[in-house]
Structure 1
Amino acid sequence: MSFSKIKSFGFLLLLMLGFQSLHAQGQVQPLPIDPQVRYGKLDNGLTYFIRHNDQPKNRAHFYIAQKVGSMLEEDSQSGLAHFLEHMAFNGTKNFPGKNLINYLESVGVKFGANLNAYTGFDETVYTIMDAPTTRQGIVDSCLLILHDWSNNITLDHKEIDDERGVIHEEWRGSQDASMRMIEKILPRVFPNGNLYGKRLPIGSMDVVLNFKYQEIKDYYKKWYRPDLQALIIVGDIDVDYVEKKIKEQFMDVKKPENAAERFYTQVPDNKEPIVAIETDPEATSTSISISYAREVTPSDVKASAEGLALNYLSAAATSMFNLRIAEILQKPNIPFLSAGLSNGNLMGLAKTKSALGLDIVAKEGQYLEALNAVVAELKRATEFGFTASEYDRFRTNVLKSSDESLKNKANRSNGSYAEEYKNYFIDGGSISGIEMENQLLKMIASQLTVQHVNEYLKDLAHGQNLLIMMMAPEKETLKYPTEAELLAQYNAALQQVVEPYKEEVSNQKLIEKLPKKGKVVSVKKNLPYGTTLWTLSNGAKVYLKKSDLKENQIILSGISPGGYRMLNISNDIENLKLMDGVVDLGGIGNFNNIQLSRVLTGRVASAGTGVGEFTETVSGSSNNADVETMFQLVYLNMTAKRQDADAYEAFMQNITEALRSAAADPMSAVSDSIPAMLYPGDVLRKPLKEEDLSKVNYDRIMQIYQERFADASDFSFFIIGTFDEATLKPLVEQYLASLPKLKRKDVSHYEQATGITKTPSIKHFSINADTRMAEVYDVYVSQMPYDLETRLKTTILGEVLTQQYQKTIREDEGGTYGVSARVSISKYPKGQASIFINFKTAPEKVQLLNEKIKKELQEMAENGINKEYFDKTVKNIENRYQDSQDENSYWLSIIMAKFYDNEDNHPIYLDTLRKITPESIQQYLKDFLKDHRYFEMVVTSEGKETTAQN
């Protein structure tokens, strides 16, 4: 097996020379836990991880992770692990009813965005994210909530019954072609009654709709217990205080006597290959998955330096293989749309079986050619290995990434740490901290050669425990093999004769000949927000703001008036729809995209450009060391986009395939009908169809792009970060002041912005889909003032509506998994406001629920909105606003608004927000509905009402 073979490579002794203390008498020793983490375990078995971190300040994440999931259900409990997760938000000992949600939202923790949970096959995790820590009482309450989740969920009978319908609607929304095929194929992939084949977390709707209350109570009592739970608290908190509170609060949680063994379902080896094929009339693509299963790496090895070495080898093998696939996909006439190699849990879910997985998405009717092509690439890699230059690039990038993580450790977010500790608790491994990991990685990378990687991949692709799975569209025009034939075709693919991989090697610089340097011709300092303005010799303006919010980060953004509305667009509709995807196909300067990625090995810099409706834009980012590379990329993107006929042909073939597949999806009628209803005369909003592709012209797209970036004289560039002006100035003069100037008088033709039609409409239609369902879209359109106060009212109203319908439509009626209520107002056309409401339900519930939604909207205008919803929304907006000020991206947007849009809302934002009242939101809604246009679209399918997992 791979974990033992690695020791035979002969590097381990050398690797460990500097870490003898980690080993004793030849036994594998775990890496130490990062000393910055307060780690402990109570006598009852409860594990905890506590870390102080101030990214962002005054916020913290609170997790409770549990090593329990749907795999621990009895057949009579199918779906109840997931159901229990829902019930955790429907009443606990100290937070009855919806008080848990209400309390957290009252302090700015939004349900769904910041307060959530998920249930998997072997884990259930509850998360409170970005909770304020400005008051000790909030920290105490979050810990009390974790305590309640651990053993004090109420499981009120009425709340259980109310939630049945919600979960049924969640199931309904998930029943697409992929899910149906997965439900059918899992029992064949995991045969002989193996639980992985019949424990999808959503479960059986027969059980969900009919289980006796005691079933869920039994599951809760049996499996939610401290020895299977971990608390993870990361943020701007007092670590000593939190640890003390955990010990006080959680010591009373008893581990059950004679506790049931927490078993993990084993997946046996399969001597004979397992082959499974499923089709579905609504499937839009053909996928083939090939897996080579093996034993999992022992937990003690995962936790050691050897575990890090195995992770390194795995990343090297999969990364280099996938880069070869990316190179192939640049060529035309390739039989697959995508392919990739991965290494992890079998099927991404079995914790007791690892697998090397090869996933292929084939073009329609070309599954055999795709299988042959991708298997040939795997054979090429295992037979001849990777090259030294491929490995050098991988190693350079990995070490650079690790070094950057070490430099930027002060910027690491609470969520990143919390997820790392959660994964460690659930899956094992190590959390030794970036300092030790960086040191170990350098030792590992220095000892392991490309030969080690090649041997490792060959070991993983051993051909045993073979699993081949195929899912495809069910069409009369398509023929598929039997399972025996597919296996034979795979075996035949293995017999192909392959040649070693060859690559073009270039030693060219990113820019061989530097452009003629321009000048900074004037400087203005001490502008608002500490901004400095440099005017360049070509007319461009550069606004600079130093910031130490993020160490080692520089961000650039540029904008100019113009956009494609400067054109007579009637002859370029199809070209404009594909412009964003096409202009980047060929790379920049002397390099195609593959060559460019090689040239940029070890550099932390990127740049991109775009042509919008009214503006041209450019963006870039880098660390301090690679800031010149960022400027070079900006220059080349603006002046030297290159064409690549092969890459373009491959792109158009893939677009053709994607549009053809989309047309076969019953839900495509929805994506077509919404823009047709709201924007009937706007050809740019009309979805692209296969027949439109003949009008696309590569040369014309590149011509439009070049024309739009031919004049930099009206560009405004904005740069923020940890730069030194003396270092930056020569780079700005070399790469921005040298950009071409024509001194055109481009303008942004905002008057051409198309709004929603003045003609209301109602459209109901049915589609032929397999799942019995309905989807409803309600759109209200009105004209409102466009200013900061109105925009804030718009945001508040949208979030209040979401909470209102969450309560009445989801919880009270049990009619849907959720209602999406979005309220927006456009700058162009100025002041066009819209309320967009969308939900899925059963066909027979459409009229009842939609009438209720309309009635409640009118009642809110007449009688006022819920003050509790209002208060929670305003608090959440205020928290988001405060948090955003710790980000460079926020201040970049502020100076762009100030100096490009002549809009300065930062000084008045909080005052404007705080003067808004529930009464002013009511008046806003009343004014909105006074003279509005209404659009309604209802799409239904009278398909099957399947209630049980197959």
Structure 2
Amino acid sequence: MKHLLRNLWIVVLIVCCNFQQAFAQQMPPIPVDQKVRIGKLDNGLTYYIRHNALPEHRVEFYIAQKVGAIQEEPQQRGLAHFLEHMCFNGTKNFPGDDKNLGIVAWCESKGIKFGTNLNAYTSVDETVYNISNVPAENENIVDSCLLILHDWSNAVLLEDKEIDKERGVIHEEWRSRNSGIMRLYTEAQPVMYPDSKYSDCMPIGSIDVIDNFAYQTIRDYYHKWYRPDLQGIIIVGDIDVDVIEQKIKKIFADIPAPVNPAERVYFPVPDNQEPLIYIGKDKEVDDPSLSIYFKHEATPDSEKGNIGYLMQDYVTSMITSMLNSRLNELRQSANPPFVYAGAGYGSYFLSKTKDAFEVSAGSKADGIMEALKAVLTEVERVRRFGFTESEYERARANYLQRLESAYAEREKSKSDGYVREYVRHFLDAEPIPGIEFEYSTMNQVAPNIPVAVINQVCQTQLIPDNNQVVFIAAPEKEGMTYPTKEEVLAMLKEMKAWDVKAYEDKVSNEPLMKEAPQGGKIVSEKPDCIYGTTELTLSNGVKVYIKQTDFKADEIRMKAYSCGGNSLFDTKDALNFNQSIMNGLVAAGGIGNFSRVDLTKLLAGKKVSVNAGVGGTQEYVNGNCSPKDFETMLQLTYLNFTAPRKDEEAFASFKSRMKAQLESSEANPLASINDTIMKMMYNNHPRVISLKANLIDQIDYDRVLALYKERFANASDFKFYFVGNIDLEKAKPLIAQYLGTLPATGAAPETIRDNHVDTQKGILVNEYAKEQQTPMATNFMLYTGTCKYNLENKIRMSVLSQVLNMVYTEEVREKEGGTYGVSSYGSLSKDTKEEFMLQIVYQTDPAKRKHLNGIIDEQLKKVATEGPTTEHLQKVKEYMLKKHKDNQKENGYWLSNLDEYFSTGIDETEGYEDIVNRITIKDMQEFTDSLLKQGNKITVIMTVPEEK
């Protein structure tokens, strides 16, 4: 480490030459973490293996392929993604036509849920498959997962009938994803990538190819590109590294090395001297958005292996962090020039061979040019003046805090985090030195990189005059004003001549609290309460429950609540107590003497957050922090109770942005169905407001704050829960000081008022047509009624939801090829009534909706009359039992259990496994039947007008 300090002079190179090349020169190499074993088989297959104890008895299996949509020829457009699907539809050792031995069926029989633990993705340059959270105790399961990876590598069957079945699924995936913005992204590619292979490479591909390609075409693609020299196996978890390595060598030995393999080309992206400008319009684009790219050469893989690359990443992260803070501050102004804005540095749009500094924004309907000028002004301000010392101090403090937190958690890190690192190392040569090295190195390097170096990079390298690209997407509608390419080009050319002043960083030296409250006491302490908590009763009546855990080293979670919520408000205030309005406005105003922007600055370098709000049946406070920031979390909590801040500028900003978002959302067809669903459910009940732009000016800010303060005026009936790495003895005096002095009126504890809004009863149907650019039927079915709220029924509802997802995947997705997926979700609630909701949602070809809805109904009724199949029920049980074991080591699980226990009286842990194990087919049949026979079903279908 001293060597690094002696050679920090090398950073000076940044100020006088290309910053990416400079970082790579004369820098010591980055080591590879010795805790991961990396090897390569004779056939070219690379493997990464690491033992990691968390989650306990679990292991992750990944295979990464250096293959994606960029390898496709025009007649193959979409086959990389299609092939990803086919890898789940039959392999040599897991034939797709065997419902028990297929990959999905076999995995789910071991508690490895499809879509959750078993999945894949295809992008432009890569395809990655995963089998996650696999039980590691059974060696046969581990061996079978290795065999699945083997088959994905070299033994996918690609049978005719399976290919034909999957065409419909992918066609429906295309349908559901062919949104307005996706159409514009696709249309923009030739403009953004002239004379480049990237001009036509969206992974979903051509629908004509998907529907009609010859079987041999995909087989040729598979055999050409799925080969060991382009594949990496990553296995991390509670395993013996030596044993796994020998298994890999044995299982993958039969895969032959490629003979005369096709070259895996990384296609270049040409430079452009004049700006490339794309302006697209679509009727289904929600809000206008824009991105400006300043392109740079991507760092070659060969130059990512030294300390300079870490420093490059540090410098670019500092720049984007500070610019994002400025953009966020501008967003909070009374009349913000954009709805949102952000900056980043990484790959240029779709391409990994070109990087870019990107600034993006979302605008008001009539404010595209205003938003564009605003973000370009900030870019020019950075180029001309750089950043201030105080901005840099905060950004660096936040960076070092994140690094410190990761280092503190080094013995508590979960396997999936390591997997992600190794996937990126294999695919992109990203360094994997381990957190110990990174923490030690960057804690020496970062404090020695001055803001002058950051600014020199901004001023000389980051924002070039060439290699500029602008992407603008806007709604196509009457009265809309669109910029022209000439106007955008003129703005880019003129920005250097703009009258831009240096940024002034307004920083308060005032502490979060000038004086800590005094007088609170702990009047009783009871150890070994529910879930092993310590119960504290404070002098103002507040109850506190503390559960000490060692699951994470750098985390304490908090939740507090009391009964009441907006159920206690009069209906006339429905707009003001709307949760989006009230909670959004209170958060926007800040607390104490600090605006939201000032508060963010004050908390730099701390790991702490607190948010308070009013829900339907309770007022609440949620928080989390590092143990060292525990007092700050309590101070923030105290101020959220006692000092919500009124800020007229923040109110004006909130209204401006909310109006713009609501106006823009009307372009999205899904906004229509959401409104219809709300009307069908609640029959325009005055307490249930569907927010529209014309309502925003009716908000009474003073009334919103008064209602909020009313709910937090009496803390005596609040319960607080703390779970995590909390030192009880150190925490008690702080809890007494801050929570024990919260206001207490002495009033009796409140209960929920019966202002319950009932869902409409009976069989109700609303099918309507709406013009859509891609014809699609969106189907929503909701079953409601009464159901006793207890643990057994909560588990049964979870089982039913999961069973239905399996049934519909098999019957609607796979057999019919009718949809990309059906989502089933059920829940129970308990406030003034005990009720259930079961909703089923999916999208499909309008011509298929009646047929598929018939299958949806038929299969649900089948469960109500016959129960689920033995196979489905057992798969769900396996997953739930596995998940339950994993949950025992999560702070969030225990926080949720405490909340459930005290708010409903239900102990989520008592007998959970016994209940799951003893649920029978008959139990589920009777439970489902009891829900359906109540006869309450709301159906909403949005389709397209019939052709005349």
Same fold (TM over 0.5): yes
**Conservation of the 8 A alpha-carbon contact between 2:763 and 2:935:** no
> Aligned residue for 1:3?
none
1:943, distance to aligned residue in structure 2 (A): 9.4
The correspondence of residues 610-649 of structure 1 with structure 2, limited to 5 A, is: 610-649=613-652
> Aligned residue for 1:848?
851
Choose 687-696 or 27-36, whichever is displaced more: 27-36
The correspondence of residues 460-609 of structure 1 with structure 2, limited to 5 A, is: 460-577=462-579, 578-609=581-612
| CA 1:276–1:9: 2 relative to 1, 3 Å | farther
The correspondence of residues 233-312 of structure 1 with structure 2, limited to 5 A, is: 233-312=235-314
**How far apart, in 1, do the equivalents of 2:330 and 2:446 lie?**
28
**How far apart, in 2, do the equivalents of 1:27 and 1:807 lie?**
58
**Conservation of the 8 A alpha-carbon contact between 1:63 and 1:127:** yes
**Conservation of the 8 A alpha-carbon contact between 2:39 and 2:47:** yes
Match of 2:396, SS?
A: helix
Given the alignment of the two structures, is residue 839 of structure 1 paired with residue 842 of structure 2, yes or no?
yes
Given the alignment of the two structures, is residue 445 of structure 1 paired with residue 461 of structure 2, yes or no?
no
Choose 34-43 or 649-658, whichever is displaced more: 34-43
| CA 1:528–1:373: 2 relative to 1, 3 Å | closer
> Aligned residue for 1:19?
none
Alignment root-mean-square deviation, CA: 2.0
**Conservation of the 8 A alpha-carbon contact between 2:541 and 2:716:** yes
1:87, distance to aligned residue in structure 2 (A): 0.3
Corresponding letter in the other structure for 2:38: Y
1:797, distance to aligned residue in structure 2 (A): 0.9
| CA 1:873–1:26: 2 relative to 1, 3 Å | closer
1:361, distance to aligned residue in structure 2 (A): 1.6
> Aligned residue for 1:324?
326
**Conservation of the 8 A alpha-carbon contact between 1:68 and 1:124:** yes
> Aligned residue for 2:17?
none
**How far apart, in 1, do the equivalents of 2:134 and 2:83 lie?**
23
Given the alignment of the two structures, is residue 938 of structure 1 paired with residue 937 of structure 2, yes or no?
no
Match of 1:44, SS?
A: coil
Corresponding letter in the other structure for 1:819: V
1:879, distance to aligned residue in structure 2 (A): 1.0
**How far apart, in 2, do the equivalents of 1:10 and 1:187 lie?**
44
**How far apart, in 2, do the equivalents of 1:938 and 1:400 lie?**
49
Query: Residues 733-785 of structure 1, C-alpha deviation per residue, up to 9 Å, x if partnerless?
Result: 11010111102224232633223212431111000111111111122223332
Query: Residues 524-550 of structure 1, C-alpha deviation per residue, up to 9 Å, x if partnerless?
Result: 223233222211111111112222222
**Conservation of the 8 A alpha-carbon contact between 1:87 and 1:160:** yes
Query: Residues 418-438 of structure 1, C-alpha deviation per residue, up to 9 Å, x if partnerless?
Result: 111111111112000001011
Choose 196-205 or 269-278, whichever is displaced more: 269-278
Choose 462-471 or 219-228, whichever is displaced more: 462-471
1:219, distance to aligned residue in structure 2 (A): 0.6
> Aligned residue for 1:888?
891
Query: Residues 609-640 of structure 1, C-alpha deviation per residue, up to 9 Å, x if partnerless?
Result: 11112211112222221111111111111111
Corresponding letter in the other structure for 2:327: I
**How far apart, in 2, do the equivalents of 1:766 and 1:73 lie?**
38
**How far apart, in 1, do the equivalents of 2:481 and 2:759 lie?**
45
Choose 744-753 or 589-598, whichever is displaced more: 744-753
The correspondence of residues 525-924 of structure 1 with structure 2, limited to 5 A, is: 525-577=527-579, 578-749=581-752, 751-828=754-831, 830-924=833-927
| CA 1:475–1:930: 2 relative to 1, 3 Å | closer
Query: Residues 27-74 of structure 1, C-alpha deviation per residue, up to 9 Å, x if partnerless?
Result: 666412101111111121111111111221111111100110000011
1:223, distance to aligned residue in structure 2 (A): 0.5
**How far apart, in 2, do the equivalents of 1:12 and 1:356 lie?**
21
Match of 1:166 among 165, 169, 178: 169
**Conservation of the 8 A alpha-carbon contact between 1:816 and 1:841:** yes
> Aligned residue for 2:125?
122
Corresponding letter in the other structure for 1:514: A
**How far apart, in 1, do the equivalents of 2:446 and 2:827 lie?**
51
> Aligned residue for 1:57?
56
> Aligned residue for 2:416?
415
The count of corresponding residues between Structure 1 and Structure 2 is 928
Choose 33-42 or 313-322, whichever is displaced more: 33-42
1:704, distance to aligned residue in structure 2 (A): 0.8
Query: Residues 278-301 of structure 1, C-alpha deviation per residue, up to 9 Å, x if partnerless?
Result: 111222221222111121112222
Match of 2:244, SS?
A: helix
Match of 1:625, SS?
A: helix
**How far apart, in 2, do the equivalents of 1:60 and 1:639 lie?**
47
Choose 903-912 or 699-708, whichever is displaced more: 903-912
The correspondence of residues 188-199 of structure 1 with structure 2, limited to 5 A, is: 188-192=191-195, 194-199=196-201
**How far apart, in 2, do the equivalents of 1:528 and 1:692 lie?**
46
| CA 1:329–1:171: 2 relative to 1, 3 Å | same
| CA 1:451–1:284: 2 relative to 1, 3 Å | same
Choose 487-496 or 39-48, whichever is displaced more: 487-496
> Aligned residue for 2:3?
none
| TM-score normalized by the length of structure 2 | 0.95
1:12, distance to aligned residue in structure 2 (A): 4.3
**Conservation of the 8 A alpha-carbon contact between 1:70 and 1:121:** yes
Match of 1:907, SS?
A: coil
1:644, distance to aligned residue in structure 2 (A): 1.1
1:14, distance to aligned residue in structure 2 (A): 11
| CA 1:562–1:251: 2 relative to 1, 3 Å | same
1:13, distance to aligned residue in structure 2 (A): 9.0
Query: Residues 224-280 of structure 1, C-alpha deviation per residue, up to 9 Å, x if partnerless?
Result: 011111111111111111111111111221121001110011111112221111111
Choose 453-462 or 567-576, whichever is displaced more: 567-576
Choose 524-533 or 86-95, whichever is displaced more: 524-533
> Aligned residue for 1:947?
none
Query: Residues 857-894 of structure 1, C-alpha deviation per residue, up to 9 Å, x if partnerless?
Result: 22232233221111101111111111100012222233
**Conservation of the 8 A alpha-carbon contact between 1:897 and 1:903:** yes
1:11, distance to aligned residue in structure 2 (A): 3.1
**Conservation of the 8 A alpha-carbon contact between 1:151 and 1:225:** yes
Corresponding letter in the other structure for 2:305: A
Corresponding letter in the other structure for 1:87: M
> Aligned residue for 1:96?
95
**Conservation of the 8 A alpha-carbon contact between 2:617 and 2:831:** no
> Aligned residue for 1:77?
76
Match of 1:881, SS?
A: helix
**Conservation of the 8 A alpha-carbon contact between 1:36 and 1:51:** yes
**How far apart, in 1, do the equivalents of 2:280 and 2:417 lie?**
38
**How far apart, in 2, do the equivalents of 1:898 and 1:930 lie?**
30
**How far apart, in 2, do the equivalents of 1:594 and 1:505 lie?**
10
Match of 1:188, SS?
A: helix
| CA 1:834–1:526: 2 relative to 1, 3 Å | closer
| CA 1:467–1:573: 2 relative to 1, 3 Å | closer
Corresponding letter in the other structure for 1:477: G
Given the alignment of the two structures, is residue 143 of structure 1 paired with residue 142 of structure 2, yes or no?
no
